[in-house]
Amino acid sequence: MNPSSHYDVIIAGGGPAGASAAIHLSMRGARVLLVEQKKFPRPKLCGEFISPECAVHFERLQVADAMSAAHPADLAATVFYSRNGKNVRVPSSWFGATGVALGLSRAEMDERLLRRASEAGAQVLEEAHATNVIFEDQTACGITIRQGARETTYLAPIIVDGTGRNRALTRRLANANRARRERALMVAFKAHLENTRIEADACEIYFYRRGYGGLSSIEKGLSNLCFIASARDVRACGADADRVMREVVCKNQRAAFTLKHARLNANWLAVSLEGFGRSSVAPINGLLAIGDAASFIDPFTGSGMLMALESGELAAEAIGEFLNHSPNISGLDQLQAAYTHRYRETFNSRLTVSSWLRKAAFVPGLAEAAIAFFGASDHLRRKLAHATRGSRPETSAAAKRVR
Ligand X SMILES: Cc1cc2nc3c(=O)[nH]c(=O)nc-3n(C[C@H](O)[C@H](O)[C@H](O)COP(=O)(O)OP(=O)(O)OC[C@H]3O[C@@H](n4cnc5c(N)ncnc54)[C@H](O)[C@@H]3O)c2cc1C
35 binds ligand X (CB under 6 A): yes
Question: Helix (H, G, I), strand (E, B), or coil: what is residue 257?
Answer: helix
- The least CB distance from residue 281 to ligand X, in Å, is 12
Are 312 and 16 a contacting pair, CB within 8 Å?
Answer: yes
Question: Helix (H, G, I), strand (E, B), or coil: what is residue 300?
Answer: helix
Q: State which of residues 26, 32, 34, 47 lies at the interface with ligand X (CB under 6 A).
A: 47
Closest listed residue to residue 160, CA positions, set 357, 347, 324, 20: 20
Closest listed residue to residue 277, CA positions, set 210, 329, 354: 354
Cis (ω within 30 of 0) for the bond into 41?
yes
Q: State which of residues 30, 67, 90, 226 lies at the interface with ligand X (CB under 6 A).
A: 226
18 binds ligand X (CB under 6 A): yes
129 binds ligand X (CB under 6 A): yes
Mark the segment that binds ligand X (CB under 6 A) among 72-80, 193-201, 299-307, 377-385. Answer: 299-307
253 binds ligand X (CB under 6 A): no
Residue ranges with strand state E in 283-340: 287-289, 295-296
211 binds ligand X (CB under 6 A): no
228 binds ligand X (CB under 6 A): yes
Question: In the window 90-119, what residues touch ligand X (CB under 6 A)?
Answer: none
C-alpha span between 311 and 314 (Å, rounded): 5
46 binds ligand X (CB under 6 A): yes
Which lies closer to ligand X via its Cβ, residue 326 or residue 349? Answer: 349
With b for 16 or more beta-carbon neighbours within 10 A and e for fewer, the 282-316 pattern comes to bbbbbbbbbbbbbbbbbbbbbbbbbbbbbbbbbbb
C-alpha span between 313 and 305 (Å, rounded): 12
162 binds ligand X (CB under 6 A): yes
Q: State which of residues 82, 92, 163, 354 lies at the interface with ligand X (CB under 6 A).
A: 163
36 binds ligand X (CB under 6 A): yes
H/E stretch holding 68 reads helix 64-69
Question: In the window 333-362, what residues touch ligand X (CB under 6 A)?
Answer: none
292 binds ligand X (CB under 6 A): yes
Q: Which residues bind ligand X (CB under 6 A)?
A: 12-18, 35-38, 45-49, 51, 129-130, 162-164, 166, 168, 188, 226, 228, 273, 291-293, 299, 302-306, 308
